[in-house]
Amino acid sequence: QSRDEVVIVFGIKLPEDTQLLGDLEWEFDPTFDPARPSAQRAMYQMCATLPADLRVEGDPDCWILDFRDWVLSQGETFPTQRFTDFDQKLRLFIKQHPTAANSMWFTANDELRATRFSFRVAQRLTSFASEIVADRRKWLEFVNQLNGQAFTTANKAWVSSRAWVNAEAREEAITNAWHMNLFTLLFTFLAGLVYVRDLQLVCYITVLFSVMSVFLVFCMCCIFQWAFGPWESILMTVFFCYASAPAFRVARRYITPDGGDEVFCVRADEDDEEAQIRCVDGRALGDLPPQGLLLGGQQDIGALGPPEPSTAFEETRMVEAPPAEVLDRSTSSPVASDEHGRNVVTSETISASSDRQKARSEREDRVRLPVLSVSEDVLNSALKLFVCSVFLLPCEFRLFARLGAVAMVVPFFMVPCTLLLLPSLIVVLGPDRREADLAILYARFAEL
């Protein structure tokens, strides 16, 4: 089984601050004095009192353990006495154990200046970065505890491992990527609110494209079999912002068709130059079927008032109707019954159903032109993404290849969300008003 290496270092100071430019500056610890008995005792305890939960396998690479056995074999005591020549004994020990010198730093006078001890730990092949970071916390607690018990001559030991560095960097990268995702989502929501000025429509777009992002993650993790990491999170965020931009244009032109955009008109009959033209410009729409599309400025736009209210059902008419459960379940008007218990439809029921159908038809007319106005841009963007993905997929650089794979998938979500799902939400749920809700709130506060 593969093993990770954990290293405990004595005699080298950790850099206090990370530098933006240049390499880190490492210094020897001036307080470290291995000739002192307290320092030798502290080094020995680091290697001899390892808890079982640190998961150390095999014998540790600690020369201090061999040095202790060698000193005792010479008939002397360990740790060595304060006024004995520790460096001379260490040189004699290194002659018999030359590999021990690989873990030591010496001065020009052959005096021990710093040292390290290494331990082999079972590698977590299938663990998350959080589990490796938890192992690091156990080692830190162990080293800090012994540092607290040691004297100043050897109380600044520190522990490190390459596996910890990689795991902590990965965990921080993923955490920062998720923070960036949340910040981007919030910023996109606020920017869309400023642009559209309608909270209801912005909520539609945010929820809709958030669901699109979930399906995009499904493709990356389940279909492409990628491990979801920082790069995948960044790709999801970038394409979320890219795909949602046209939807905000649809929402803005729906709620404020005369808000600085072009006026889109439909002619009742393309062959009849005298036919009326109706426009989505904040006025009521007529009942003319849209058969042609003209840009504002090509034809004078005449005033077109709302249709005359129908008087066909001013009086209540009693007619036999289907059972109540067959009727529209969404109606709020009750179904009346005659003296024989038969269901009948009143003029109020027909009028309410007619109003709902009229409102829905009006929403369909209003949303059709904003969708048509952005459809060409959406399809062009989708085509560009697909073509770019064709060139990126064969790249040997893994990041470019993954970028190409995501760019190929995004158009299949972006086009339906912008041109189908968002208009459907607007037609079914509204709003019916012709002014943004934030503009209405602002006007009300201005009146106070």
* Sequence-ordered list of residues with C-beta below 8 angstroms from that of 282, at least 6 positions apart, any chain: 257, 258, 434
Do the Cβ atoms of 44 and 67 come closer than 8 Å? no
pLDDT of residue 82: 74
Residue position matching structure tokens 């077109």: 304
**Domain co-membership, 271 together with 165:** no
pLDDT of residue 26: 84
**Domain co-membership, 150 together with 21:** yes
- Averaged pLDDT for residues 104-131: 85
**Domain co-membership, 160 together with 269:** no
Residue 243 CA to residue 235 CA, distance in Å, equals 12
Q: What is the mean pLDDT of the chain?
A: 79
Maximum mean pLDDT: which of 12-26, 92-106, 166-180, 433-447: 92-106
- Averaged pLDDT for residues 434-448: 81
**Domain co-membership, 424 together with 291:** yes
Choosing from 138, 170, 202, the residue where a domain stops is 170
pLDDT of residue 229: 83
Tokens representing residue 319 in the block: 């007619």
Choosing from 142, 170, 198, the residue where a domain stops is 170
Do the Cβ atoms of 25 and 14 come closer than 8 Å? no
Per-residue pLDDT tens over the stretch 278-298: 444 434 344 444 444 444 333
pLDDT of residue 167: 85
Q: For the chain, how many structural domains are there in total?
A: 2
Q: Is residue 258 part of a domain?
A: no
Residue 30 CA to residue 27 CA, distance in Å, equals 9
Q: Is residue 223 part of a domain?
A: no
Tokens representing residue 336 in the block: 């009346």
- Averaged pLDDT for residues 121-129: 73
Q: Is residue 23 part of a domain?
A: yes
DSSP state letters, 131-193: HHHHHHHHHHHHHHHHHHHS-GGG---EEEEHHHHHHHHHHHHHHHHHHHHHHHHHHHHHHHH
Per-residue pLDDT tens over the stretch 171-216: 888 888 889 999 999 999 999 999 998 999 999 999 999 999 999 9
Q: Is residue 389 part of a domain?
A: yes
Residue 157 CA to residue 160 CA, distance in Å, equals 10
Q: Beta strands of 268-417 (E only): which ranges?
A: 277-279, 294-295, 336-337, 343-344
Rounded to 5 degrees, what angle do the CA atoms 88, 89, 92 make?
90
Choosing from 120, 139, 170, the residue where a domain stops is 170
| Structure confidence at residue 420 as a pLDDT band (50, 70, 90) | very high
pLDDT beyond 60 at 264: no
Can you name the residues that pair with 119 across neighbouring β-strands? 6
pLDDT of residue 263: 45
Q: Could you give the maximum distance between any two Cα atoms of the chain, in Å?
A: 121
**Domain co-membership, 285 together with 160:** no
CA dihedral 88, 89, 90, 91 (to 10 degrees): 50
Q: Is residue 315 part of a domain?
A: no
pLDDT of residue 158: 94
Residue 234 CA to residue 292 CA, distance in Å, equals 43
**Domain co-membership, 135 together with 272:** no
**Domain co-membership, 145 together with 275:** no
CA 300 centroid distance within chain: 49
Domain of residue 303 covers 264-309+349-447
Do the Cβ atoms of 50 and 56 come closer than 8 Å? yes
**Domain co-membership, 48 together with 155:** yes
**Domain co-membership, 273 together with 408:** yes
**Domain co-membership, 277 together with 160:** no
Distances (CA, A) of 302 to 81, 274, 299, 338: 108, 11, 9, 48
Q: Is residue 257 part of a domain?
A: no
Per-residue pLDDT tens over the stretch 346-398: 556 566 677 778 888 888 888 999 999 999 999 999 999 999 999 999 998 88
Instruction: List the single range of 86-100, 297-311, 392-406 with lowest mean pLDDT.
Output: 297-311
**Domain co-membership, 296 together with 442:** yes
**Domain co-membership, 26 together with 146:** yes
Residue 259 CA to residue 305 CA, distance in Å, equals 21
Helix (H) or strand (E) holding 75: none
Tokens representing residue 144 in the block: 């800090």
Residue position matching structure tokens 């955490």: 175
pLDDT of residue 138: 93
pLDDT of residue 446: 81
Q: Is residue 32 part of a domain?
A: yes
Percent of the chain with pLDDT over 70: 76
Q: Is 349 left (phi over 0), alpha (psi -120 to 50) or beta?
A: alpha
Tell me the one-letter amino acid at 227: A
* Sequence-ordered list of residues with C-beta below 8 angstroms from that of 108, at least 6 positions apart, any chain: none
Per-residue pLDDT tens over the stretch 398-417: 889 999 999 999 999 999 99
Percent of the chain with pLDDT over 90: 42
Q: Is residue 205 part of a domain?
A: no
